[in-house]
């Protein structure tokens, strides 16, 4: 298992969230949307211009910019 | 309150069909207004059902109640302060897990709750297996399956509302936060209970949980209490950020443990929505498709609306003529005809645009494409200090700034929205084109097209630069984080579209309309007084004001005639041309105006250029001012927008004129 | 997804035929609208309608939209030929968007018609059905057939 941040994953890869490094409102918003340690995330695709990224989490689609994704530490799952 | 009256609050995440359910329940008995003191829209409605008068309040859609946004504060305060009899949470059956996060927070507010499990047909179609009985049992609250768009489950829901109201007492499922946190909750609860007023108003456990969650809004609420300092001391000794994360974890842990018992999710099937998305956000086709759809929306908003606008204009023109013929004395006829009817006319002439625009926006939003559009263009918009959702308003601005500013409502973050509203007036709307055509055509005949194109480019450039500038000064900071749900594609309903269109259209008439009309009447008075002058001529007040501000505009190369016509431009930019016709004494004759402009020694190509630049940038028309006031809810921002526009216009026109004079 | 594969050949044929027609119509229109624009540049601007020059590339844009629709169909066809069932999605969206634009043009046409007939607007006097008839409208018949034939297969989001 390799630890990395969410923005480094490629479309199709799955990962489990280890830690959320964001602070303040960003952190709160991420928690509201289900981005909490233990959740499984799959990278669906990047936007045509390369940013933001679309993820699948808890059965729905969520998009965020790379800079927000960089705050989320994950371990990849095969 | 009488026994046959029930107050029901509707809550739920965005995109779960809350508005549809609200419309289905209340039908046409609706009232749209604002929450006191804020610009968040408040909708309420009535339903007479089995002898009960049920009042339904549609709370803003939120993902949680942590007071992250104004919407959340509004929703929460309503439940806590107004204590509705029953709170209905609409839960998207295809997305139960995340929806339950809000449920865990709602339960702590201590109200009677009902879950409306909406769109359960979609979940079943997808292959999910829902165990509704188990859900009722675990959550200890009624769960009713609904398909709001097909009117399914509504009477069951209302029956449940009535039976809940009659129940004397309810016990809610509550989340245990673990020994450490629970002991802190108890400790804080105990302190809070010393203030009996607080204890009678709020559920204390909820207050304690919110305080441990670092909720500043709640901290303010108790700041007047005798126990405020004691609470602050307890909180100061704790690492609140740590607690906040721990508590969120606990909520999700709880959901994770219970969710599999309520629902077996089918993970493998690829849905139609996923397939559509693959095309719509395709690396190569995504942007062209986006641009094509935007062009289509633009074309419909402004081309298809044009006959309706003509009808409206003709009606008001006819009314004005009627007034002129049948009303005596003449001054009254002129006031009614040109002032009031003209003013009402300019309010109504935007109606076709606005109605069609909101109909299309509603279709785009309900279909789920609006979120994808933001997803696709966010990269570009972020670079200039705005965000993905700012794009559509900017595009609409080329047609008319008024609906464009109204379209910024889809931007949740207030700072992002303000920045978008403030830069929008620089986008050159259709009404400014007649000015460019006149002056570019007269003074740059060969290169008129290029000149006009450059003016449009200048508008975009100023908008972009202003966005950057605002972001480093008044609206400091980066655009808000872009964390956006991409809801599944759905077929939008015409009914919702029409309702959305009607709500926003009538809102526009009521709110912006009064300002636009007032402004029009003031301009009329200025043009018609003092007694007996020719309307809008040199001797009228507006002529006198034009003369007196001329020194200010002199450095830009404008004489008093231009100054006066620019004043008229406040009503609507296209009037600039008409009023120049009056001032040069040629009336409506376009060619005569061209000739007299060419013959005027004060006018030459550089003045024309400076005038076009100034017209592009200076204060948008009264309608835009009215709508800015309405949408920002602040005179300060409105004044800022006007002042900023005037300053930028003056400076750039100054540079163009003086620079041009030097070069010659 | 198995049930899609049954009539794959049919769909590939449909997609390539429709796609090629749209691309063809789009290319022709693009060529002519570019020619007209070049020509306009040599004329006096004030006489010609400058609003037309700025916004109207409605023909230029129209041609680009035709090309776009065509390429969505062809993209889908190529995907299907490569054995990827996702191609179906492109055909579905292609049908959706071509019908959408046919509707847009029909509405614009209705608007113009109302302007000229109901109001006798002098600006657009002599409005003629043919003036507003765009390739996107009559070509729309093809995807409309496609939609009617495969409605059920595509339609599991019609609820």
List the single best residue of C63, C67, C93, C153 to mutate versus B (max B Cβ within 10 A): C93
pLDDT at C57: 42
pLDDT at B395: 79
pLDDT at B589: 65
Cβ contacts of residue B77 below 8 Å, gap of 6+? Answer: none
Closest residue in chain B to residue A65, using alpha carbons only: B482
Cβ contacts of residue B131 below 8 Å, gap of 6+? Answer: B261, B262, B263, B264
pLDDT tens column, B137-156 = 888 899 999 998 888 999 99
Residues from chain A that touch B382, judged by Cβ atoms under 8 A, are: 51, 65
Average pLDDT across chain B, whole number: 83
Q: Report the pLDDT averaged over residues B354-366.
A: 84
Which ipTM score applies to this complex?
0.94
pLDDT tens column, B157-198 = 999 999 988 887 766 667 888 888 899 899 998 888 888 888
Q: What is the DSSP letter of A10?
A: P
**B434–chain A nearest CA distance, Å:** 37
Strands B52-58 and B5-12: parallel
- In terms of pLDDT, which residue wins out, C20 or B592? C20
Nearest CB to A33 within list B63, B286, B488 = B63
- In terms of pLDDT, which residue wins out, A70 or C150? A70
**B552–chain C nearest CA distance, Å:** 32
| Percentage of chain B lying above the pLDDT 70 cut | 92
pLDDT exceeds cutoff 60 at C124: no
Q: Does A21 touch chain B (CB under 8 A)?
A: no
pLDDT exceeds cutoff 60 at B1: no
Integer angstrom CA distances of residue C135 from B628, C29, C59, C105: 41, 9, 10, 10
Whether omega before B530 lies within 30 degrees of 0, making that bond cis, reads: yes
CATH numbers and ranges of domains, chain B: 5-166 (3.40.50.300), 179-238 (1.10.287.1770)
pLDDT at C150: 82
Interface of A with B in 26-45 (CB under 8 A): 26-34, 36-39, 45
pLDDT exceeds cutoff 60 at B25: yes
What is the radius of gyration, based on Cα positions, of chain C? 19
Domain ranges of chain A: 3-77
Q: Is B314–C119 a contact, with Cβ atoms under 8 angstroms apart?
A: yes
pLDDT exceeds cutoff 90 at B110: no
Tell me the C-alpha distance between B152 and B141, whole Å.
20
pLDDT category at C127 given cuts 50, 70, 90 is low
**B125–chain A nearest CA distance, Å:** 15
Residues from chain A that touch B379, judged by Cβ atoms under 8 A, are: 47, 49-52
Nearest CB to C68 within list B288, B449, B491 = B288
pLDDT exceeds cutoff 80 at B396: no
Tell me the C-alpha distance between B98 and B148, whole Å.
20
Strands A14-20 and A40-46: antiparallel
Cα(first)–Cα(last) distance of chain C, in Å?
19
* DSSP string covering B530-573: STTPPTTSTTSHHHHHHHHHHHHHGGGT--HHHHHHHHHTTT-T
pLDDT exceeds cutoff 70 at C75: yes
Q: Does C41 touch chain B (CB under 8 A)?
A: yes
> How many CB atoms neighbour CB B56 within 10 A?
24
pLDDT category at C58 given cuts 50, 70, 90 is very low
Question: For residue B500, what are its two tokens?
Answer: 């959305």
Q: Is B122–C65 a contact, with Cβ atoms under 8 angstroms apart?
A: no
Angle at B137 between CA B133 and CA B143, to 5 degrees: 60
Tell me the C-alpha distance between C76 and C84, whole Å.
9
HSE, CB side, 13 Å, CA atoms: give it for residue A43.
23
- In terms of pLDDT, which residue wins out, B273 or B55? B55
Q: Does B68 touch chain C (CB under 8 A)?
A: no
Tell me the C-alpha distance between A10 and B580, whole Å.
62
Q: Does C37 touch chain B (CB under 8 A)?
A: no
Nearest CB to A52 within list B66, B267, B378 = B378
pLDDT at C158: 36
Integer angstrom CA distances of residue B4 from B163, B327, B401, C130: 12, 54, 47, 63
At the topology level, CATH places domain A3-77 in SH3 type barrels. (2.30.30)
pLDDT at C52: 42
Q: Where are the beta strands (DSSP E) in B1-158?
A: 5-12, 30-34, 41-49, 52-58, 86-92, 112-118, 129-130, 143-146
pLDDT exceeds cutoff 90 at B652: yes
pLDDT category at B102 given cuts 50, 70, 90 is very high
Q: Is B101–A32 a contact, with Cβ atoms under 8 angstroms apart?
A: yes
**B227–chain A nearest CA distance, Å:** 27
pLDDT tens column, B444-462 = 876 777 788 788 889 989 9
pLDDT exceeds cutoff 60 at B472: yes
């Amino acid at each position: 298992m390799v630890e990395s941040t969410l923005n480094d994953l490629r479309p199709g890869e799955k990962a489990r969230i280890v830690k959320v490094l964001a602070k303040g409102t960003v952190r709160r918003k991420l928690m509201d949307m289900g981005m909490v340690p233990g959740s499984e995330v799959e990278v669906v695709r990047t936007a045509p211009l390369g940013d933001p990224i679309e993820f699948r989490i808890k059965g729905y689609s969520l998009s965020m910019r790379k800079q927000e994704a960089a705050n989320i530490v994950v371990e990849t799952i095969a | 309150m009488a026994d046959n009256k029930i107050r029901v609050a509707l809550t739920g995440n965005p995109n779960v069909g809350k508005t549809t359910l609200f419309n289905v329940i209340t039908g046409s008995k609706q009232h749209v207004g604002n929450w006191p003191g804020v610009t968040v829209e408040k909708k309420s409605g009535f339903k007479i059902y089995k002898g009960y008068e049920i009042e339904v309040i549609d709370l803003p859609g939120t993902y949680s109640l942590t007071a992250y946004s104004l919407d959340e504060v509004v929703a929460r305060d309503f439940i806590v302060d107004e204590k509705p009899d029953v709170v209905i949470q609409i839960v998207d059956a295809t997305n139960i897990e995340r929806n339950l996060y809000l449920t865990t927070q709602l339960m702590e507010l201590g109200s009677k709750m009902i879950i409306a499990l909406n769109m359960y047909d979609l979940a079943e179609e997808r292959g999910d297996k829902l165990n509704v009985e188990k859900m009722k049992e675990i959550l200890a609250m009624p769960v009713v399956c609904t398909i709001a768009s097909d009117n399914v489950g509504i009477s069951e829901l209302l029956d449940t509302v009535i039976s809940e109201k009659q129940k004397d007492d309810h016990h809610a499922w509550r989340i245990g936060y673990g020994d450490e946190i629970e002991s802190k909750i108890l400790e804080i609860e105990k302190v809070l209970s010393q203030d009996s007023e607080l204890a009678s108003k709020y559920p204390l456990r909820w207050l304690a949980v919110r305080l441990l969650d670092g909720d500043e809004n709640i901290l303010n609420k108790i700041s007047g209490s005798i126990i405020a300092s004691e609470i602050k001391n307890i909180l100061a000794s704790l690492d609140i950020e740590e607690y906040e994360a721990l508590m969120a974890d606990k909520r999700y842990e709880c959901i994770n443990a219970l969710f599999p018992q309520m629902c077996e999710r089918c993970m493998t099937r690829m849905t139609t929505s996923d397939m559509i998305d693959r095309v719509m956000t395709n690396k190569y086709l995504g942007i062209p498709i986006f641009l094509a759809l935007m062009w289509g929306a633009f074309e419909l908003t402004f081309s298809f609306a044009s006959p309706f606008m003509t009808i409206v204009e003709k009606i008001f023109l006819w009314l004005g003529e009627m007034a002129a013929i049948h009303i005596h004395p003449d001054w009254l006829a002129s006031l009614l005809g040109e002032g009031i009817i003209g003013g009402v006319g300019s309010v109504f002439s935007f109606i076709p645009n606005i109605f069609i625009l909101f109909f299309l926006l509603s279709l785009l939003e309900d279909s789920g494409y609006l979120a994808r559009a933001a997803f696709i263009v966010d990269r570009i918009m972020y670079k200039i200090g705005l965000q993905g959702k700012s794009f559509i308003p900017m595009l609409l601005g080329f047609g008319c700034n008024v609906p464009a500013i109204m379209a910024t409502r889809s931007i949740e973050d207030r700072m992002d929205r303000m920045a978008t509203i403030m830069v929008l007036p620089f986008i050159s709307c259709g009404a400014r084109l007649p000015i460019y055509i006149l002056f570019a055509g007269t003074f740059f005949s060969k290169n008129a097209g290029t000149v006009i194109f450059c003016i449009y480019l200048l508008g975009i450039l100023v908008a972009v630069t202003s966005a950057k500038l605002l972001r480093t000064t008044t609206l400091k900071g980066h655009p808000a984080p872009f964390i956006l749900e991409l809801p599944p594609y759905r077929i939008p309903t015409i009914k919702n579209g029409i309702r959305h269109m009607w709500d926003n259209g009538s809102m526009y008439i009521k709110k912006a309309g009064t300002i636009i009309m007032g402004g029009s009447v003031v301009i009329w008075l200025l043009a018609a007084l003092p007694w007996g002058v020719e309307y809008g001529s040199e001797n009228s007040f507006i002529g006198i004001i034009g003369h007196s501000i001329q020194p200010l505009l002199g450095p830009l190369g404008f004489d008093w005639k231009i100054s006066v016509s620019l004043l008229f431009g406040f009503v609507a930019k296209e009037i600039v041309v008409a009023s120049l016709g009056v001032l040069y004494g040629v009336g409506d004759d376009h060619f005569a105006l061209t000739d007299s402009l060419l013959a005027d020694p004060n006018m030459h190509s550089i003045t024309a250029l400076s005038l076009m630049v100034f017209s592009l940038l200076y204060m948008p028309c009264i309608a835009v001012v009215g709508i800015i006031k309405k949408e920002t809810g602040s005179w300060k921002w409105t004044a800022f927008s006007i002042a900023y526009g005037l300053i930028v216009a003056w400076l750039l026109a100054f540079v163009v004129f003086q620079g041009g004079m030097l070069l010659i | 997804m198995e049930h899609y594969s049954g009539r794959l050949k049919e769909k590939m044929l449909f997609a390539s035929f429709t796609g090629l027609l749209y691309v063809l119509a789009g290319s022709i229109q693009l060529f002519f609208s570019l020619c007209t624009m070049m020509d306009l540049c040599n004329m006096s601007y004030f006489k010609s309608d400058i609003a037309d020059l700025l916004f109207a590339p409605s023909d230029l844009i129209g041609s680009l939209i035709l090309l776009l629709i065509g390429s969505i169909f062809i993209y889908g066809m190529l995907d299907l030929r490569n054995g990827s069932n996702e191609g179906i999605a492109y055909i579905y969206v292609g049908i959706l968007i071509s019908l959408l634009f046919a509707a847009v043009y029909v509405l614009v046409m209705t608007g113009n018609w109302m302007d000229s007939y109901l109001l006798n607007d002098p600006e657009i006097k002599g409005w003629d059905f043919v003036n507003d008839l765009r390739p996107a409208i009559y070509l729309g018949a093809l995807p409309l057939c496609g939609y009617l034939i495969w409605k059920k297969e595509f339609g599991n989001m019609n609820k």
